[in-house]
């Protein structure tokens, strides 16, 4: 789908009439305020041939609204109450985002109340709404040193009317949703109910995906921490595989639909001999199949390391009895255990009885605290989200695109998935680093 400029315009609740409290702070310190101008936009494409091909004047080219502090804001800061909710699976950096939002709202906007909803959207339901916590600087101090989310999270569908009743009851003006594609769909459902009631409430999303599979974002927060952690596990099975006769190391990494973690982790330490991702189907048998490659590697080097993304090779697994989680996401078959079994069987038959070391470190990776790079990224995303909400942006998410923080309409973040391009330069780098063929039996 080719996007036009109008598809990229974000919604706003109305004219910004209140002076930003930044003005006072910056004036007294005699620093020059970094304000974003209303017409400050970032081009979606930066490839000259693509832009020329559009044949439109520059102001009509698809572009995104820059995020950041505005001179005027929509909500009267001192009379504003906000809510924060984290939903979906864990990802490094959730606490950094919560902390950044609370700090910005407290230190710079001096808002009236900041409420944290417990355990995802469940915390906005009638049953759990009394468990809401008031957040201040003390409550978020040091939380960035821990993984997970201090607010808790959950999956499962909740009633939009009930959730909006809660927002009304607490007098919330801006709801910040930190979560994945499902959470953003949930946020859109809440926005629809807010619109139906004609309420003046903004909903701003901070997209979360450890797999880096959401579009319109350079790299999602927590991704760098995740692949750095994954690298350590690959290094461990490499050492194990070297120490054993016919040593086979298998590491199953996150990546339900997109193999970015597997690719980056494999490139980072170069110990992987085979990388399998959902975007590139593979076959086991035949002269070009995976089993032949593994056998050849073990014969030649005495060991092999296979890195597999959890969503890879699903077409090879038994489809029967496949279930879904509470949010309706299909549960995947276990490709790691499947490979362990198949490689053991094949190498044994080939006269190379293997010693297999299999690691599935997903939970150990998801639950760590963000590294320094991701912490910086998270706090800046959090600031951008606060500025967006205070300026009355709604149905909007904040992302970083081409190294600039920008606003995009929420529906676009769920419109498709960011995936590794099997014909692109990242996959090419993986092939170069591992020496594996472009595909197995493809």
Residues in binding site for ATP: 89, 155-156, 180-183
Residue of minimal Cβ distance to Mg ion: 180
Of 125 and 429, CB closest to ligand ATP: 125
Q: Which does 185 bind (CB under 5 to 8 A by kind): ligand ATP, Mg ion, none?
A: ligand ATP
With contacts defined by CB under 5 A, how many residues of the chain interact with Mg ion?
A: 3
Looking at residues 155 to 214 of the shown chain, list those that interact with Mg ion (rule: CB under 5 A).
180-182
Give the length of the chain: 442
Of 291 and 420, CB closest to Mg ion: 420
CB of 88 to Mg ion, least distance (A): 6
The answer to whether 203 and 394 have CB atoms below 8 angstroms apart is yes
Instruction: Select the residue interacting with ligand ATP from 62, 147, 148, 186 (CB under 6 A).
Output: 186
Per CB under 6 A, 333 contacts ligand ATP: no
CB of 154 to ligand ATP, least distance (A): 6
Q: Which stretch binds ligand ATP (CB under 6 A): 9-17, 39-47, 156-164, 257-265?
A: 156-164
Q: Which does 186 bind (CB under 5 to 8 A by kind): Mg ion, ligand ATP, none?
A: ligand ATP
Instruction: Select the residue interacting with ligand ATP from 180, 247, 249, 333 (CB under 6 A).
Output: 180
CB of 67 to Mg ion, least distance (A): 23
Helix axes 425-434, 260-269, angle to 10 degrees: 40
Beta strands 202-207; 63-66: pairing state: unpaired
Q: Which residues pair with 296 in a beta bridge?
A: none
Instruction: Select the residue interacting with ligand ATP from 80, 95, 103, 183 (CB under 6 A).
Output: 183
Instruction: Select the residue interacting with ligand ATP from 93, 182, 249, 361 (CB under 6 A).
Output: 182
Instruction: Select the residue interacting with ligand ATP from 156, 215, 302, 437 (CB under 6 A).
Output: 156
Contact mark string toward ligand ATP, 102..131, x via CB under 6 A: ------------------xx----------
Q: Comparing C-alpha atoms, which of 140, 186, 194, 148 is closest to residue 168?
A: 194
| CA atoms within 13 A of residue 23's CA, in its CB half-sphere | 9
Q: What is the spatial distance between Cα 434 and Cα 290, in angstroms, rounded to a whole number? A: 13
Q: What is the spatial distance between Cα 283 and Cα 439, in angstroms, rounded to a whole number? A: 9
Catalytic choice (211, 213, 273, 395):
211
CA-to-CA dists, residue 74 to 173, 366, 387, angstroms: 10, 36, 10
Annotated catalytic residue 211: yes
CB of 66 to ligand ATP, least distance (A): 26
Q: What is the spatial distance between Cα 370 and Cα 144, in angstroms, rounded to a whole number? A: 7
Looking at residues 208 to 267 of the shown chain, list those that interact with ligand ATP (rule: CB under 6 A).
209
Q: Which does 63 bind (CB under 5 to 8 A by kind): Mg ion, ligand ATP, none?
A: none
CB of 226 to ligand ATP, least distance (A): 12
Query: Which are the contacts of 383, defined by CB distance < 8 A and separation ≥ 6?
Result: 100, 104
What are the phi and psi torsion angles at 86 (to 5°)?
A: -115, 130
Q: Which does 62 bind (CB under 5 to 8 A by kind): ligand ATP, Mg ion, none?
A: none
User: Which residue has tokens 């010693």?
Assistant: 355
Q: What is the spatial distance between Cα 52 and Cα 185, in angstroms, rounded to a whole number? A: 35
In the chain, count of helices (H) and strands (E)?
14, 17
Q: What is the spatial distance between Cα 306 and Cα 252, in angstroms, rounded to a whole number? A: 9
Q: What is the spatial distance between Cα 399 and Cα 67, in angstroms, rounded to a whole number? A: 9
Q: What is the DSSP-derived secondary structure letter of residue 372?
A: H
Of 83 and 180, CB closest to Mg ion: 180
**Catalytically active residues, by annotation:** 211
| Residue ranges binding ligand ATP (CB under 6 A) | 87-89, 120-121, 154-158, 179-183, 185-186, 189, 209, 327, 329
């Amino acid at each position: 789908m080719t996007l036009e400029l109008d598809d990229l315009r974000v919604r706003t609740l109305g004219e910004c009439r209140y002076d930003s409290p930044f003005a006072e702070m910056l004036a007294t310190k005699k620093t020059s305020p970094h304000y974003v101008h209303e017409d400050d936009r970032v081009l979606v494409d930066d490839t000259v041939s693509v832009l020329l091909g559009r044949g439109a004047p520059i102001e009509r080219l698809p572009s995104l609204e820059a995020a950041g502090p505005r001179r005027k804001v929509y909500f009267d800061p001192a009379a504003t109450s906000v809510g924060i909710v984290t939903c979906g699976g864990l990802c490094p950096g959730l606490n950094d985002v919560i902390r950044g939002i609370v700090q910005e709202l407290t230190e710079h906007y001096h808002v009236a109340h900041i409420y944290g909803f417990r355990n995802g959207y469940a915390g906005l339901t009638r049953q759990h709404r009394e468990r809401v916590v008031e957040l201040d600087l003390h409550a978020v101090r040091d939380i960035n040193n821990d993984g997970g989310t201090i607010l808790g999270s959950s999956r499962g569908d909740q009633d939009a009317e009930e959730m909006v009743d809660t927002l009304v009851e607490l007098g919330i003006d801006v709801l910040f949703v930190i979560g994945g594609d499902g959470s953003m769909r949930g946020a859109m459902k809440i926005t629809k109910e807010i619109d139906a009631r004609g309420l003046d409430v903004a909903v701003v999303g901070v997209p979360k995906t450890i797999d880096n599979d959401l579009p319109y974002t350079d790299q999602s927060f927590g991704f760098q921490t995740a692949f750095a952690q994954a690298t350590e596990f690959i290094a461990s099975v490499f050492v194990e595989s070297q120490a054993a006769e016919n040593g086979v190391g298998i590491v199953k990494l996150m990546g339900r639909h997109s193999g970015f973690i597997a690719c980056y982790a494999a490139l980072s330490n170069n110990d992987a001999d085979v990388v399998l991702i959902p975007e590139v189907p593979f076959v086991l048998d035949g002269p070009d199949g995976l089993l032949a490659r593994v056998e050849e590697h073990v014969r030649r080097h005495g060991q092999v390391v296979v890195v597999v993304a959890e969503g890879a090779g699903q077409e090879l697994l038994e489809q029967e009895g496949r279930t879904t989680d509470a949010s309706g996401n299909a549960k995947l078959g276990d490709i790691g255990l499947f490979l362990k079994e198949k490689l053991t069987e094949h190498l044994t038959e080939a006269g190379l009885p293997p010693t297999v070391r299999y690691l599935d470190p997903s939970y150990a990776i998801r639950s760590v605290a963000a590294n320094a790079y991701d912490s910086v990224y998270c706090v800046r995303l959090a600031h951008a989200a606060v500025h967006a909400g205070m300026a009355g942006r709604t149905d909007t998410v904040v992302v970083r695109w081409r190294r600039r923080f920008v606003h995009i309409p929420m529906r676009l973040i769920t419109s498709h998935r960011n995936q590794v391009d099997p014909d692109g330069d990242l996959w090419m780098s993986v092939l170069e680093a591992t020496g594996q063929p472009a595909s197995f039996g493809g």
